[in-house]
Amino acid sequence: MTGDRAVFLDKDGTMIEDIPYNVDPALMALAPGAAEGLTRLHRLGYRLVVVSNQSGVARGYFAESAIAAVEDRLRSMLAELGVPLTAFVYCPHHPEGSVAEYAIACDCRKPAPGMLLRSAREHGLDTARSWLVGDILDDIEAGRLAGCRTILIDNGNETEWVLSPGREPHHRAADLGQAAQIIEEADAFDLRTREAPR
């Protein structure tokens, strides 16, 4: 039996406006196209999972406990749209961090796929039927390693452009609204392909 379909979503720069290392819920605002995109993805039947690198913990910029308020605020913003969030997963690590317990090389920090794979196991998700949407190529690499189709939000946040086959997005979009449209069109194509006479 296959698992549910999901869209794994980067948080900063994809779902919400990118304010580096922000943990103040009052400063959080949905990114352009996010409300439309999240609503459409929910309507299409996708479960939504946030996968976010939070190296500010390892760098000593804020305590790990501060992330709970960010999650609460994000869930309430989505609830106002009628959109549930299946999971909010984050990685507090960075190998060059200044806080010893978090200054480790881990399997969860993107571009590693650990957050996606763990969420898939815990929530019965099928990564082969799922998507990853993010605004940098580390997101894309994590999605590909987990077996997802991928969309890069090409909004200027990727600045290094270290490309390789494992970091090449399947699609590019201007924002989350356009990404959701791409996913809906891909669903329609997949359905037509399955229903075509053989």
pLDDT in tens, 57-114: 999 999 999 999 999 999 999 999 999 999 999 999 999 999 999 999 999 999 999 9
Out of 10, 135, 139, 175, pick the active-site residue. Answer: 10
Q: Where are the alpha helices (DSSP H) in the chain?
A: 34-43, 67-80, 114-123, 137-145, 176-195
Q: Quick check: 70 and 25 in contact, CB under 8 A?
A: yes
Radius of gyration of the chain (CA): 16
Whether 12 sits among the annotated catalytic residues: the reply is yes
pTM over 0.75: yes
Task: Go through the domains of the chain in sequence order and give each one's CATH number.
Answer: 6-195 (3.40.50.1000)
Q: In the annotation, is 187 catalytic?
A: no
pLDDT digits (tens, 9 = 90+) for 5-61: 999 999 999 999 999 999 999 999 999 999 999 999 999 999 999 999 999 999 999
C-alpha 57/C-alpha 178 separation (Å) is 32
Q: How confident is the model at residue 196 (pLDDT cuts 50, 70, 90)?
A: low
Starting at the edge strand found earlier in the chain, the sheet holding 6-9 runs 87-91, 47-53, 6-9, 131-134, 149-153, 171-173
Please report, rounded to a whole number, the percentage of residues in the chain having pLDDT higher than 90: 93
Active-site hit among 4, 12, 72, 107: 12
Predicted local confidence at residue 197, as pLDDT: 66
